[in-house]
């Protein structure tokens, strides 16, 4: 097991505190042995990533929610070029035309590498 100071970082940016805490908890439960999980509000994302860079941390994944989050994910490349960038969307989010448009624009512009379904409950994998 790796010490917390040496673990690559998984960052979750979401303005909905309850959703952010839930995603953080799920990531920590599933990946906490190998990654350090950190959550923040969307407006704090850039500062969190700059501190990580200054501290020499490896940022593995950055997840953000909403249109503002999609826009901010584009800037992740400058600070952490190797980090994977994902847009958090709710289950059945593709049914919302505005959200589907946000995901497609972000993909088309290269702002995100993938989209990630928000966990809805523990062990929410589809079988």
- Asked whether residue 123 is domain-assigned, the answer is no
| Residue 124 forms part of a structural domain | no
9-13 sheet: strands from edge to edge? 36-40, 9-13, 59-65, 84-89, 114-117
Query: Residue 95 sits in which domain range?
Result: 4-117
The predicted structure's pLDDT at residue 41: 95
In a domain, 44, yes or no: yes
Question: What is the per-residue pLDDT for 107?
Answer: 93
Let me know if residue 28 belongs to a domain.
yes
Residue 85 lies in a domain: yes
- Domain contains 125: no
pLDDT on residue 6: 83
Dist. CA 63–CA 16, nearest whole Å: 13
pLDDT the model gives residue 1? 44
Q: Which tokens in the block code for residue 48? A: 């969190």
Q: Does 122 map to a domain?
A: no
Which residues on neighbouring strands pair with residue 105, listed in sequence order? none
CB 120 within 8 A of CB 89: no
Length of the chain: 127
Q: Give a yes or no: residue 82 inside a domain.
A: yes
- What's the number of domains the chain is made of? 1
Mean of pLDDT values over 93-100: 91
For position 10, which CATH number holds?
Answer: 3.40.50.2300
92-109 mean pLDDT = 92
Confidence of residue 118 (pLDDT cuts 50, 70, 90): confident
Count of beta carbons in the 10 Å neighbourhood of residue 83:
22
Of 19-23, 100-104, 120-124, least confident by mean pLDDT is: 120-124
Q: How confident is the model at residue 67 (pLDDT cuts 50, 70, 90)?
A: confident
Torsion angle defined by CA atoms of residues 16, 19, 21 and 24, in that order, rounded to the nearest 10 degrees: -120
């Amino acid at each position: 097991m790796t010490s917390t100071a040496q673990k690559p970082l998984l960052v979750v940016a979401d303005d909905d505190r309850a959703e952010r805490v839930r995603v953080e908890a799920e990531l920590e439960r599933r990946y906490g042995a190998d990654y350090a999980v950190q959550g923040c509000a969307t407006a704090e994302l850039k500062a969190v990533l700059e501190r990580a860079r200054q501290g020499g941390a490896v940022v593995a994944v950055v997840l953000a929610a909403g249109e503002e989050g999609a826009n901010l994910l584009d800037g992740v490349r400058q600070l952490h070029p190797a980090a994977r960038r994902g847009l958090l969307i709710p289950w059945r989010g593709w049914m919302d035309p505005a959200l589907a448009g946000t995901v497609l624009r972000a993909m088309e512009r290269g702002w995100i590498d993938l989209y990630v379904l928000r966990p809805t409950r523990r062990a929410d994998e589809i079988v």
